[in-house]
């Protein structure tokens, strides 16, 4: 169990540097890997809330702070192990509030069924993000399958880089038949290195055009894509993928290596960041 000291810094630009977990077994940090790079997780397009036992609202679902199966606390720890800082952005992205971000991750953009007043992608925000990427930023888009996130408007952003989320659903897993979500990476993969068996379920496939390229397929479907855009890099996958449930090692069969893949993914992202 982690204890969170009060160590929160809110800048005038609206970027929140999160509390850093303290454990009895400190993680050995690879300082050379990240060189003080900051990984910012979007809390504007993914803005889901629940009530606790006392009736107070709290943010959940694909957040750094969420240690449940649906959180990204494990991924946050991986980035910190690589020497990066983690932060969040709960405002509409602009040139000003993205200025200090090295990597910007947008996950599972909300629909009206997920939050009372969803924030949808628009042309203004898409331009601000694209301009930031062009200057050297690294954008990560991890959406979801159709019905579980907003994709039509989000494509305003992704299509700037030659990537379209198809608003479909593949690798639909029944109960715990994990093989239905199996995806193999080839040996020598540019992101994941050695051959790995990944678990990716219920994803939206991609339509990929220049400047993007497909970097991993699932059957006949384009699963993951990368685009070089100006000095920056864009990664896209139609699934939140490496949240706690599937990187914590408590539920997955041993031959699935999502945790190791998440480590390689984090290293690759930080390497792309300027």
pLDDT tens for each residue of 232-248: 999 999 999 999 999 97
**pLDDT of 270 higher than 60:** yes
CA neighbor of 138 nearest in space, from 231, 224, 46: 231
Chain centroid, CA 240 distance in Å: 6
| More confident position, 39 or 36 | 39
d(CA 156, CA 4): 38
pLDDT value of residue 274: 80
Q: Kindly give the residue spans of alpha helices, DSSP state H, lying in 113-256.
A: 123-134, 155-158
pLDDT value of residue 36: 86
Question: Which whole number is the average pLDDT over 137-166?
Answer: 98
pLDDT value of residue 267: 98
**pLDDT of 9 higher than 50:** no
Structure tokens at 113: 């069924």
Q: What are phi and psi of 183, to 5 degrees?
A: -135, 130
pLDDT per position as a tens digit, 86-126: 999 999 999 999 999 999 999 999 999 999 899 999 999 99
**pLDDT of 265 higher than 70:** yes
The gap between the terminal CA atoms of the chain, to the nearest Å, is 34
pLDDT value of residue 11: 41
In the DSSP assignment, the letter for residue 23 is -
Do 238 and 216 touch, CB atoms closer than 8 A? Answer: no
d(CA 136, CA 98): 11
| More confident position, 248 or 25 | 248
- Domains of the chain, each with CATH number or no CATH: 15-180+205-272 (3.40.50)
SS3 category, 84: coil
pLDDT per position as a tens digit, 195-234: 999 999 999 999 999 999 999 999 999 999 999 999 999 9
Q: How many helices and strands, by DSSP H and E, does the chain display? A: 6, 15
d(CA 59, CA 237): 24
């Amino acid at each position: 169990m982690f204890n969170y000291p009060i160590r929160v810094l809110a800048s005038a630009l609206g970027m929140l540097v999160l509390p850093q977990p303290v454990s009895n077994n400190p993680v050995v940090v690879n300082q050379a890997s990240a060189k003080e790079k900051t990984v910012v997780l979007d809390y504007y397009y993914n803005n889901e809330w629940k009530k606790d036992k006392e009736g107070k609202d709290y943010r959940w679902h694909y957040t750094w702070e969420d240690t449940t199966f649906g959180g990204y606390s494990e991924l946050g720890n991986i980035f910190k192990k690589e020497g990066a800082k983690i932060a969040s952005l709960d405002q509409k992205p602009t040139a000003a509030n993205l200025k200090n971000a090295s990597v910007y991750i947008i996950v599972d953009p909300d629909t009206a069924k997920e939050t009372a007043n969803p924030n949808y992608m628009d042309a203004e925000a898409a331009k601000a993000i694209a301009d930031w990427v062009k200057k050297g930023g690294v954008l990560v888009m991890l959406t979801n399958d159709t019905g579980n996130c907003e994709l039509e408007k989000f494509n305003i952003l992704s299509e700037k880089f030659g990537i379209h989320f198809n608003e479909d659903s593949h690798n639909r897993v029944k109960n715990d038949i994990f093989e239905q979500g199996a995806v193999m990476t080839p040996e020598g993969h540019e992101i994941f290195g050695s051959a790995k068996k990944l678990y990716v379920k219920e994803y939206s496939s991609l339509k990929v055009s220049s400047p993007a390229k497909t970097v991993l397929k699932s059957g006949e479907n384009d699963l993951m894509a990368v685009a070089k855009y100006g000095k920056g890099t864009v990664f896209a996958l139609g699934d939140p993928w490496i949240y706690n449930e599937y990187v914590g090692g408590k539920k997955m069969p041993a031959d699935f290596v999502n945790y190791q893949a998440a480590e390689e993914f984090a290293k690759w992202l930080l390497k792309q960041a300027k």
